[in-house]
Amino acid sequence: MMMYMFISFLCGIWVFSSNRKHLLVTLLSLEFVVLILFFVLCNYFNMFNYELFFALVFLTFSVCEGALGLSILVLMIRSCGNDYFQSYSMLQC
């Protein structure tokens, strides 16, 4: 089980580092990595019979990170018209 999560984590990191064209794909890969980390954290806490309060705090911060990323995406689309990194420049838009 942990091997599949490790492979999924590496795939998410690979997509995050290789795709630099669209902001939406980058945000989706970050959310995928956070989701895998959440599953690993829950499995770790259940294995040692700890409380899941820290996992709830981690999930809250990941939701805040996702909302911030979506707000940046909406701002970028409204100002430039697309989510390409190549067309976004501080001097241009």
How confident is the chain (93 residues) per 10-residue block, as mean pLDDT? 88 87 88 94 91 91 94 87 71 52
Residue 87, in any domain of the structure: no
3-state helix, strand, coil in the chain (%, to 5): 75, 0, 25
How confident is the model at residue 65, as a pLDDT? 93
Residue 36, in any domain of the structure: yes
Into how many domains does the chain fold? 1
Which range of residues forms the domain containing residue 71? 7-80
Alpha helices for 48-91 (secondary structure H): 53-80
How confident is the model at residue 80, as a pLDDT? 79
CATH number at residue 39: 1.10.287.3510
Residue 11, in any domain of the structure: yes
Residue 86, in any domain of the structure: no
Residue 72, in any domain of the structure: yes
CB 9 within 8 A of CB 33: yes
How confident is the model at residue 89, as a pLDDT? 62
Residue 64, in any domain of the structure: yes
Integer CA distances (angstroms), 12 to 48, 52, 61, 68, 93, in order: 27, 24, 19, 19, 30
How confident is the model at residue 24, as a pLDDT? 87
Task: Report the distance separating Cα 37 and Cα 47, nearest Å.
Answer: 15
CB 29 within 8 A of CB 8: no
